[in-house]
Chain A
Amino acid sequence: EIVLTQSPGTLSLSLGEGATLSCRASQSVSTSHLAWYQQKPGQTPRLLIYGTSSRATGIPDRFSGSGSGTDFTLTISGVEPEDIAVYYCQQYGASPPTWAFGQGTKVEIK
């Protein structure tokens, strides 16, 4: 079973500041199956990034993803007020089929 560990738990940023969110897997993960989600308070989760680095439909280009193996990163280049949310990484493993989320990183504005 692959465990995803996200860091930091909470990220306090000033508006316009860049953010780097980390997701570390307990074993190697296929880049094709690594995704990031945003969940704003009181809202449904939204897919931001899939396949490690591809932005989902309608996602602003200030969000970008990168990584390989066991280390993956979500970068927000210039945090805006609407980016206040909890961000989750998620992976799918095919053999046997398993789905796992990280515990989340909360992004807040200073």
Chain B
Amino acid sequence: KNEVEQSPQNLTAQEGEFITINCSYSVGISALHWLQQHPGGGIVSLFMLSSGKKKHGRLIATINIQEKHSSLHITASHPRDSAVYICAVRSIGSGGGADGLTFGKGTHLIIQP
């Protein structure tokens, strides 16, 4: 079982719809990251969370540490939101947290006009 599980794997929606992508993890973490990867390949960091909720424009990210679960929401979705959204966690390691990220397999989102 992967340490980080995302759902759904693929999501196609119409422009304007409210989008939710889920991420569950099985290890203790110090932080959770949401990343966006466009077809060209570049990765953009959207959010880093260790508790609560963050909002940036039409994007909202929440995390429930007790339930080991995070969600990424997109309001008023637009075709330019089409991308792969990746959840990644920074595990609590023996090295004081000096470890890299562990990634989910990503959610392929397509927003149709």
Q: Do the two chains bind?
A: no
List residues of B whose CB falls within 8 A of some A CB. none
List residues of A whose CB falls within 8 A of some B CB. none
